[in-house]
Chain A
Amino acid sequence: MTLRLEQLARRVGKETHLYRMDLTLEPGLNVLLGPTLAGKTSLMRLMAGLDRPSEGRVLVDGTDVTSRSVRERSVAMVYQQFINYPSLTVYDNIASPLRLARLPRPEIDRKVREVAGLLHIEHLLGRLPAELSGGQQQRTAIGRALVKEADLLLLDEPLVNLDYKLREELRAELQAIFAQRRAVVVYATTEPLEALVLGGRTVVMGEGRILQTGPTLQVYHHPASTDVARIFSDPPMNMLEGTIADGRVSLGDGIAFPPCAHLAALPAGRYRFGVRANHLGIARRRPGDVEFPAEVALAEVSGSETFVHLLHDGVDLVVQEEGIHSLRLGATMSVFLAPGQLYAFDAAGALAAAPARREG
């Protein structure tokens, strides 16, 4: 099926939760990426039919379903919390949507066991949700959603309440499961990494608006605006004001270099330059790297990486560096910038030039 949202908007009282938007979703994985309060959940509720839009229409394969209740639509949903019927066993939980659909008993049994196998919870079918770990509870909830074989499968930050090991494991499994389905899968997340791992298409949302839509990697490499660039980078993309004039790029406080290929074509003027944290370094990586001074504000060790927060020309920068580095706070140090990885945004914040990529 194809899900089309036409001129959809939602207001609650005087607050606008979603501004007017158009969106077409095809079968396959669609990641809804945006920070909290971006409107992801509001949008999913409209897609599901749990809420009515204030304006606009929801179309399924061209048929207007805007006023059709959630019961009459083919929808399944997985939530951030682990939602299962507390007094039913895992088996009965997974079977519940099928029983409500009055499927014959042997077919229910076959489907429940198939889904349980897919999610590796066959051995837990007799247990009650309270006797399961968080990961197992969420697997049960996902099983309940999958077993319906609904045309629209909504997952609202399903992995956020799990620890990162389980999250990685389940994410990889989900990716494989989604690949075998013909449903329109909508997966909401706040994490850019999750969008990248899952692939598919990405819809970037911010403050109740759809900011950009496209294949995930395409959006990642060509963020249409500074907002998308910030949302689709973790840590958010570093931004420095600068100019291109007289065949030189100058940004920040006295950083200047001749423009490389993708920047050379830009007309002279003021730009905002963006660079992801992993393209800044505290050591020279390539001969063409540009060196500039910055003051260490904070060094954060995360796993095998260090995030160094620096201050340059009154702007906060984050450098992502392999390995563990202990740095003296307040010290001034050299930071290396790869000019080939710079994004340029115009005065209005729209993308002017993106780094060239081999895969395009």
Chain B
Amino acid sequence: MTTTEKPDTLLRILDYSSRADPYPLYAELRETPVARQADGSYVVSTYREIAELLHNPHLSSDVRNLSRPMEAVQGRTTPSFINLDPPEHDRLRRMAMRHFGPPHTPGLVTGMEDDLTAVVNGLIDGFAGKEQIDIVDDFAYPFPVTVICHLLGVPREDEPRFHLWVDAIVNSIDYNPETDPKEKLENGVQAREDLRQYLAGLLEQRHGKPGEDLLSRLANDDGPDGRMTDEEILATANLLLIAGHETTVNLITNGMLTLLRQPQMLQRLRSEPGLVVPLVEELLRYEPPVHIIPWRAAYTDITVADTVIPKGSKIMLMLASGSRDPNRFHDPDVFDPDRRDNEHLGFGSGIHLCFGGPLARLETQIALTALVQRLEEPTLVTDPPPYRPSPVLRGPIHLHIEQNKN
């Protein structure tokens, strides 16, 4: 059944004032699993319906299949695979995965463990002598950025340049023509172009020079699918740089925030290091870094939960709401690392399942383990902390903590 009883629930979720705790609003949203919005789009907020749609071949990630154009994502030269359907999606993702994971590059992520630990410990060494530590600026942001730069082959010292572009791009993801200044969109478009140009410069140096980094490997690939065009490489690198930048930071910060709010859990992790594996999974369910898939397109009429979503409709998938659905998870609002059967939506599902998930997992496991081992009785300075603007990639913009000074 489609109802539009509470058309404002979504707007309240998107509003910045609910950023610190959107979960009660998600519960309200779930009263109507598939809710038609005033603009004709659909919001899906329950676990089974989201999971069903993520495996439904009649759903498209290609913006051209939306009946109403979307300014925030249109006008790009070459889309990355996150915004493509099979067979193009499959081809590009496969070509990128050749250099990142099994079966062709099986040991890459696990082989990074020592390096990741070294980076993490270096950052924690830097806390020495500080009155207050900002878990975001001093740790959770620089760590994954260092890692993704190394992986891609992007000079770490250029970070101040592309940081601004990435910020502008992320801020434009949820651009709403009715409420947002046009500037927000234009900044995003300009930032995309600047970042593309920057990456194009790096790519040019890689042709004919085989190396270990992803850009070099993509530029010189001779796999069964041939080589990506330069435009495809740029789109892929762009995607991985942004995703590698803006997601793990939230996962690590949300993790630390959750542990600081439950000191007995922090203590437990300290004494049971093996707990970190299920704990990070529970974190992906309970406080995920990506809350929303902002849009998918109905390629044909799609029936879900007895609602017919007409062809061409925009569909918004509320992943973080699905992972708190009481019809799927027992006591969903309890953070319980001992939870079994924890098939959360933290990395999405289906063919677009998070490409970097294995790396994000390892990064967060190493980061939280080191933080709880090395911080002395850490406490939160402000709760809730201030949040980033985005309701999609949701997380604190700063997380100030203090340590026991003894």
Partners in one complex: no
The interface of chain A, by Cβ under 8 A from chain B, is none
Q: Which residues of B contact A (CB under 8 A)?
A: none
